[in-house]
Amino acid sequence: MNIVKLQENVHNYLQDKRYVLVLDDIWDNILWEEVRHALPLRVRGRIILTTRNMNVASPIGKTCYIHQLQPLYCELAWYLFSRKAFRNSNPPGHCPHHLKQTAKAIMEECGGLPLAIVAIGGLMSKMEPLS
């Protein structure tokens, strides 16, 4: 099915329905434009769009509320990182003293982004302990 036919089918299906549409991690305006053309003019739904690029959200924001998430502050970022990276330690979430400086440097590279913190912490939790 080509894009025009797909847009038409989605438009017809949503015409008299209430809906929630979630678009996650959108990086450019092209996808939003293609989706927008598929939506009925009289929108009865809600659209949740996540993006790290405010240039993607700004044209949408003319008709919608934009909530710009902020990175986690240092203490919360460290707590999340420790709980994930050192979940197998005793007690869980406790960073061994000899790893603290390195672990904090790694966590800071995540820039307060929860997804990055959880991903890197998860990888660290699977590493073999250093002797």
| Residue 61 confidence (pLDDT) | 59
Instruction: Write b or e for each residue in 108-128: b if 16 or more Cβ atoms lie within 10 A of its Cβ, otherwise e.
Output: eebebeeebbbebbeebeeee
Asked if the model's pLDDT at residue 43 lies above 80, the reply is: no
- CA-CA-CA-CA torsion sign (96, 126, 110, 93): negative
Contact yes or no for 103/85 (Cβ under 8 A): yes
Tokens of 66: 């934009």
Contact yes or no for 33/56 (Cβ under 8 A): no
User: Which residue in the block uniquely carries the two structure tokens 């902020």?
Assistant: 70
- Between 40-44, 82-86, 119-123, the lowest mean confidence (pLDDT) is in 40-44
Q: Model confidence over 109-119: pLDDT tens digits?
A: 999 999 899 99
Tokens of 85: 């990276």
Percent of the chain at pLDDT exceeding 90: 33
Q: Model confidence over 57-88: pLDDT tens digits?
A: 776 656 667 777 789 999 999 999 999 999 98
**Measured at the alpha carbon of residue 129, what is the angle toward residues 125 and 131, in degrees to the nearest 5?**
165
